[in-house]
Chains A and B, each alone.
Chain A
Amino acid sequence: MNQAARSVVLHGLVIALLVAMFFVLPEYHSGNLARILVLAVFAMGYNVLFGYTGLLSLGHALFFASGMYGLGLSIQFLSASPMLAIVIGLITAVVVSGVIGFLALRTTGVAFMIVTLMFAQAGFLTVLFFGKYTRGDEGFVIQRAQRILFGVDLSQPLPRYFAALILFAICLCLIAWMVHSRFGKTLVAIRENEERARMLGYDIQRHKLMAVIISGTMSGAAGAAYALLFGYAGASFAAVQYSILPLLYVLLGGAGTTIGPLIGTVFMFYLIDISSEYTDAYLLIAGLALILLTLFAPHGIAGILRKKLAWLP
């Protein structure tokens, strides 16, 4: 079996497993998994930029929030249907990531991190500034009646789970395809040796900008999905911790792997969920786990798997 076929089988199995999980898991865990799938899409978007292109952004909360508020505000103020609102959320994320990418990519390395962080902070403060519309830090509820897509009530467990899974599956397939595409391989080449890629004649800036837009749009899709599926949009999702979270998910799961973000999100979600049952200092436990993983598994959980299965995309 060649690498492409293995990739199709692997990702097909992951999706099939996730379909089965809904019917096997107890209600609490299937509910969690719906949330995890949305957050995994966020992490997958981050992974496009960090894992495949080698650009460390600290501003992805802005992209997540762009999708979230693009959808949420259009429902609130334009009475947009969920489908139209999703489109508006995605367009918002495309535009925001395009503009931020265009400006931030004038810098590299640490400066890129700082510039993206600053843009995200500016976005967070903008949400607060326009509190009359966004309700600032309090945020606003997207009512159940506003979350019915093509007659399907997305507030119900089954539709919510499968809506999250469909989004996840689309993004997973896109990334799996991208990894094997000429574009994806160019991104990896940029990550590995930007100067060499430039010398070989690749348009580095264009590829990086495309990576930022794909990454930001995927993150925005996650933000829009979160608002639509869980009925809430608020400024906390634009705050700095939501720029750090996808980085942690990807680091834990394995940067530059297709299934790493999902693994990392599951790991992190349950690390917090379970450790918070034992102590109020659960973030300390999360921090320790991160340190240990960084020391003993610097390529993340999927990185360990890749040592055994070198073909793992």
Chain B
Amino acid sequence: MTDTKKSSIITSSSGGKIGGQTINKSMNRRTALKTLSAGVGAMAGVGALPGMMGCAHASDEPIRIGFQVHRTGIGAAYGRWYDRTTEAVVKRINDEGGINGRPIEIVAEDDGTDPKRGAEVVEKLATKHKCDVAFGTLFSHVVYGSAPRAGELAIPYFVVSEGHHVASGALNRYTLQPGITDVKSQVEAMGPFIKENLGKKVTMIFPDFAFGHDHRDYFSAAFESLGGEILEKIAIPPTETSFSKYFPKIPRETEVVYHVMVGPAVLTFVKELGEFFGPSRPEIFGFIDSLEAVDLSSPGLEFLEGTYFWEGNPRYAQEDQTEFDKAYREAVGVDESGASISDAKDVSTYAHMFGCWETMYVIKAGMEAAGYNGPDDRQKLIEAVESMTEMPHSMEHPQGAKLFNGKTHQVFGHQYISKVTDGKLVLAHTTSIEDTLYEDEVDYTSMSF
């Protein structure tokens, strides 16, 4: 990573933006950071920084957060918005005085959305760039590929993936997911709403790989335990480009079609589903993962009118929009429709990207609680995060209140269900946090470092 790219996020303590623009020379960046962090430190010394009083720090050097970002590969659309969200939250935190008086410096490395490269990137962030922590991975296979190296290198690895990998116990003590809920809790929380409002007989259509299998297994188990019935589970191979031949498998008595198709063929999927059912369709419930970064007004998506979607965070600003969402939306450069302020066709991955924002604040809170000074304090940082529980709805957690489970390293939170109304996603239901909880499957705190 060049200094050009590494230094994409550097902000001054007075709020004047230095980063965001590129600083070309390493010395310029370092000099600027030292100056800025010295200023922040001085302010902290006179108690000018909220939440910073009493936090001694041994160094004015920036805290280096390694950002494992999907800039290329299948996760590039998510990566673009994860990048922007991270830039926004770091600017905000640095404007507020950084972490323990030290500014954050992001060191971003593209992992190509590939698990092999992901592991190499984690290694590079830890051993070459000497980052304090690694952060930001989304795609589950990259997390699986990278987490072992993070554990071996003893670098805290904060993923923003929504995979169940962390809470399942498959990873290690250094891997945490404190900023976004996992797929198991999301899926299980949908059951009561679907059964009460849409129907009791469900047919599931899902991609025939791990993401789809998670939905198949977790939703069907949860739904059947509520007294619902899964009529059919239709797995579609990931290489499929046309879906018409699968739709006749949908039983006639189906009351709800539950779909979680993802990838470039999703528009074809929706279009062909519309052609298959015509005007007399069953209720349809999907996960917005299908349409993240996709404009709902895209041709062929008219069929989705009146259907329901899970959203991690409502893409459209709602009538009762909170002040937190408003400020967060403005900070990350997203308009009321969930698109970029500068380009209405550049639709955000709004249901997921808040995870970067919230995770960064968890890192900040953890480091401050641990009195983090450097890599020697990494275990203290992990323990500090493990001891977290309630995270109130706030600017630090604009998606909603959270409950962190230190044993499973997984956060739990509200889930949103929206209905497509006049081409927009309108919030129809918000689950409680309790709806999303499940039995612990691991206790990472009992593992040694």
Encode contact with B along A227-268: 1 for CB under 8 Å, 0 otherwise: 000111011110000000000000000000000000000000
A137 touches which of B4, B117, B141, B239 (Cβ 8 Å) = B141
Question: In residues 94-148 of chain B, which contact A (Cβ within 8 Å)?
Answer: 109-110, 114-117, 119-120, 123-124, 127-128, 140-141, 144-145, 147-148
Let me know if B149 and A138 touch, CB within 8 A.
no
Let me know if B213 and A232 touch, CB within 8 A.
no
In the bound complex, how far is the Cα of B71 from the Cα of A309, in angstroms?
A: 43
Q: Specify which chain B residues have a CB less than 8 angstroms from the CB of A155 in the assembled complex.
A: 148, 152
Q: Specify which chain A residues have a CB less than 8 angstroms from the CB of B2 in the assembled complex.
A: 277-278
> Interface of B with A (CB < 8 Å)?
1-2, 4-5, 71-72, 109-110, 114-117, 119-120, 123-124, 127-128, 140-141, 144-145, 147-149, 151-152, 163, 165, 170-172, 208-211, 213, 237-239
In the complex, 20 of the A-B residue pairs with CB atoms within 8 angstroms, ordered by the A residue number, are A26-B127, A35-B120, A125-B237, A128-B238, A131-B213, A138-B163, A139-B141, A141-B147, A141-B148, A155-B148, A155-B152, A231-B152, A235-B209, A236-B115, A236-B141, A273-B120, A276-B109, A277-B2, A278-B4, A280-B72
With contacts A32-B120, A277-B5 taken as known, whether A138 is within 8 angstroms of B148 at the C-beta atoms is: no
B123 touches which of A28, A234, A280 (Cβ 8 Å) = A28
With contacts A131-B208, A236-B116, A236-B141 taken as known, whether A144 is within 8 angstroms of B152 at the C-beta atoms is: yes
A195 interfacial by beta-carbon distance below 8 Å:
no
Let me know if A230 and B149 touch, CB within 8 A.
yes
Q: Specify which chain A residues have a CB less than 8 angstroms from the CB of B117 in the assembled complex.
A: 272
In the bound complex, how far is the Cα of B72 from the Cα of A31, in angstroms?
A: 24
> Interface of A with B (CB < 8 Å)?
26-28, 31-32, 35, 125, 128-129, 131-132, 135-144, 155-156, 230-232, 234-237, 272-273, 276-278, 280, 282-283
In the bound complex, how far is the Cα of B208 from the Cα of A27, in angstroms?
A: 40
Let me know if B208 and A141 touch, CB within 8 A.
no
Let me know if B114 and A140 touch, CB within 8 A.
no
In the bound complex, how far is the Cα of B115 from the Cα of A234, in angstroms?
A: 8
With contacts A230-B148, A276-B109 taken as known, whether A131 is within 8 angstroms of B239 at the C-beta atoms is: no
Let me know if B115 and A27 touch, CB within 8 A.
no
Let me know if A125 and B239 touch, CB within 8 A.
yes
Q: Specify which chain A residues have a CB less than 8 angstroms from the CB of B237 in the assembled complex.
A: 125, 128
Among A129, A137, A234: residue with most chain B CB under 10 A: A137
Q: List 13 additional contacts besides A136-B209, A236-B114; criterion CB under 8 Å.
A: A28-B128, A128-B238, A135-B210, A136-B210, A137-B238, A139-B141, A141-B147, A155-B148, A232-B119, A277-B1, A278-B4, A280-B71, A282-B110
Q: Specify which chain A residues have a CB less than 8 angstroms from the CB of B209 in the assembled complex.
A: 128, 131, 136-138, 235
In the bound complex, how far is the Cα of B211 from the Cα of A135, in angstroms?
A: 10
In the bound complex, how far is the Cα of B123 from the Cα of A32, in angstroms?
A: 9
B140 touches which of A28, A138, A144, A272 (Cβ 8 Å) = A138
Among B1, B119, B120, B239: residue with most chain A CB under 10 A: B120
Q: Specify which chain A residues have a CB less than 8 angstroms from the CB of B72 in the assembled complex.
A: 280, 282-283
In the bound complex, how far is the Cα of B383 from the Cα of A140, in angstroms?
A: 26
With contacts A28-B123, A125-B237, A138-B163 taken as known, whether A234 is within 8 angstroms of B144 at the C-beta atoms is: yes
Let me know if A28 and B124 touch, CB within 8 A.
yes
Let me know if A141 and B171 touch, CB within 8 A.
yes
Q: How far is the CB of A311 from chain B (nearest CB, A)?
A: 36
Q: Specify which chain B residues have a CB less than 8 angstroms from the CB of A135 in the assembled complex.
A: 144, 210
Let me know if B144 and A138 touch, CB within 8 A.
yes
Q: Specify which chain B residues have a CB less than 8 angstroms from the CB of A136 in the assembled complex.
A: 209-210, 213
Q: Specify which chain B residues have a CB less than 8 angstroms from the CB of A35 in the assembled complex.
A: 120
Q: Specify which chain B residues have a CB less than 8 angstroms from the CB of A32 in the assembled complex.
A: 120, 123
Let me know if B109 and A137 touch, CB within 8 A.
no
In the bound complex, how far is the Cα of B143 from the Cα of A141, in angstroms?
A: 10
A234 touches which of B4, B120, B145, B151 (Cβ 8 Å) = B145
Q: How far is the CB of B80 from chain A (nearest CB, A)?
A: 10
Please give me the 4 A-B residue pairs with the lowest Cβ-Cβ distance, nearest first: A231-B148, A138-B210, A28-B128, A28-B127
Let me know if A280 and B144 touch, CB within 8 A.
no
Q: Name the residue of chain B whose CB is nearest to the CB of A239.
A: B114
Q: Specify which chain A residues have a CB less than 8 angstroms from the CB of B114 in the assembled complex.
A: 236
B110 touches which of A129, A139, A144, A280 (Cβ 8 Å) = A280
Q: Name the residue of chain B whose CB is nearest to the CB of A121.
A: B239
Q: Name the residue of chain A whose CB is nearest to the CB of B6.
A: A277
A141 touches which of B4, B5, B71, B144 (Cβ 8 Å) = B144
Q: Specify which chain A residues have a CB less than 8 angstroms from the CB of B239 in the assembled complex.
A: 125
Q: How far is the CB of B105 from chain A (nearest CB, A)?
A: 16
